[in-house]
């Protein structure tokens, strides 16, 4: 009986994280899948979203800025605005350059965010981290806090999915695909390429910020050490590529698939001899890294390849 409850709790925990990663993967899909814009700073957007809501909603503390004790909804909205602005700032610098430069710039931002979180103690409490981030639905249904929060995360995932799926079918999404396939042609058709790309990048960044904020309210404690930033970035990329970039359902499927595989690798490393325990993490990353290369080499389009809506006159 206890085993059953434990398994159920683990399932809820797993599903909540999958939901959060799903939202972030959808955000990357707008940037990379729709528009072909690189982002190797996903972990940084995630962390910034988490920290903004943590500072906004936690109780006042002498060890960091705030907390302002705002309602969770306000914290989450602020997190999305903040990460959107961060995305805008990166765009303003790199938007006219080749996509390689965007990738390098996002790495730069990620590094600066990492250094900032660690060193600016007045803002983030440094390595000690921020504790006591409120869980929004605590006590709403007594005894089922974890399950209600899963409901919140899944509702958010559904909302994000519906919103960006709608955008994909809208003329706006069509322009993004045009830019991805042939930027010059899109420009020649009179589209303001720069503006569309900025919009796509900012919307994607906001989804990543939302994911980060939901994560903060889920774990209730965040610190710079808790974010293995480039690892989160890497995992989200594998999710999108495995699922099928350009396809929103693919992005969600990829999040489920890769998170289950990632959790499953723990079963393998759990069987290792004692003195390998400290290296288990590295072995798991290695396995996911090899998986990415295999997917890239054998099935680049992912599990669910992109299926653009048919042209109207067909």
Applying CB under 8 A, the residues found at the interface with another protein are 36, 38, 40, 93-94, 97-101, 103-105, 107-109, 111-112, 115, 118-119, 230-231, 234, 237-238, 241, 278-279, 281-283, 285-286, 288-290, 292-293, 296-297, 300
- Residue 112 CB neighbour total at 10 angstroms: 12
Let me know: does 71 contact 146? Beta carbons within 8 Å.
no
Token pair for 33:
């899948």
Q: How far apart are CB 238 and another protein at their closest, in Å?
A: 8
Nearer to another protein, 163 or 194 (CB): 194
Nearer to another protein, 41 or 211 (CB): 41
Min dist CB 179 to another protein, Å, is 14
Of 213, 221, 238, 264, give the one whose Cα is nearest residue 32. 238
Q: Any bridge partners for residue 130, and if so which? A: 222
Residue whose structure tokens are 């999305």? 80
Farthest CA pair distance, the chain:
66
Smallest separation (angstroms) from another protein to the CB of 187 = 16
Give the H or E element holding residue 22. helix 2-28
Q: What is the DSSP letter of 134?
A: P
Nearest approach in angstroms of CB 49 to another protein is 21
Nearer to another protein, 38 or 149 (CB): 38
Q: Which is nearer to another protein, 106 or 148 (CB)?
A: 106
Q: Half-sphere exposure of residue 285, counting CA atoms within 13 Å on the CB side?
A: 10
Q: In terms of CB distance, is 220 or 269 closer to another protein?
A: 269
Whichever of 97 and 140 has its CB closer to another protein, that residue is 97
| Minimum separation from the CB atom of position 244 to another protein (A) | 14
CB of 138 to another protein, least distance (A): 37
SS3 for 26-63 is HHHHHHHHHCCCCCCCHHHHHHHHHHHHHHHHCCCCCC
Peptide bond before residue 67 is cis, with ω within 30 degrees of 0: yes
């Amino acid at each position: 009986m206890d085993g059953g409850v434990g398994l159920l709790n683990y399932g809820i925990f797993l599903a909540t994280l999958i939901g959060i990663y799903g939202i972030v993967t959808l955000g990357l899909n707008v940037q990379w899948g729709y528009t072909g814009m690189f982002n190797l700073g996903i972990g940084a957007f995630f962390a910034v979203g988490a920290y903004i809501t943590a500072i906004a909603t936690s109780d006042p503390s002498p060890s960091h800025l705030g907390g302002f004790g705002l309602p969770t909804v306000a914290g989450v909205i602020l997190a999305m605005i903040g990460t959107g602005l961060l995305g805008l700032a990166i765009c303003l610098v790199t938007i006219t350059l080749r996509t390689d430069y965007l990738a390098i710039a996002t790495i730069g931002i990620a590094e600066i965010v990492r250094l900032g979180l660690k060193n600016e103690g007045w803002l983030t409490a440094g390595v000690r981290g921020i504790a006591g981030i409120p869980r929004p639905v605590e006590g709403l249904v007594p005894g089922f806090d974890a399950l209600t929060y899963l409901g919140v995360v899944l509702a958010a995932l559904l909302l994000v999915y519906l919103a960006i799926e709608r955008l994909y079918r809208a003329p706006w999404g069509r322009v993004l695909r045009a830019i991805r396939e042939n930027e010059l042609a899109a420009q020649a058709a009179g589209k303001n390429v720069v503006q569309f790309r900025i919009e796509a990048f900012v919307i994607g960044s906001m989804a990543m910020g939302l994911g980060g904020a939901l994560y903060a309210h889920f774990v209730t404690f965040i610190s710079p050490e808790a974010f293995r930033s480039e690892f989160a970035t890497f995992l989200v990329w594998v999710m999108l590529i495995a699922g099928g970039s350009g396809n929103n359902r693919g992005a969600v499927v990829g999040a489920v698939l890769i998170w289950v595989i990632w959790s499953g690798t723990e079963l393998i490393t759990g069987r290792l001899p004692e003195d390998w325990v400290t290296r288990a993490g590295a072995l798991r990353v290695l396995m996911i890294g090899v998986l990415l290369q295999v997917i890239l080499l054998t099935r680049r389009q992912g599990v669910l390849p992109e299926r653009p809506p048919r042209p109207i006159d067909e």
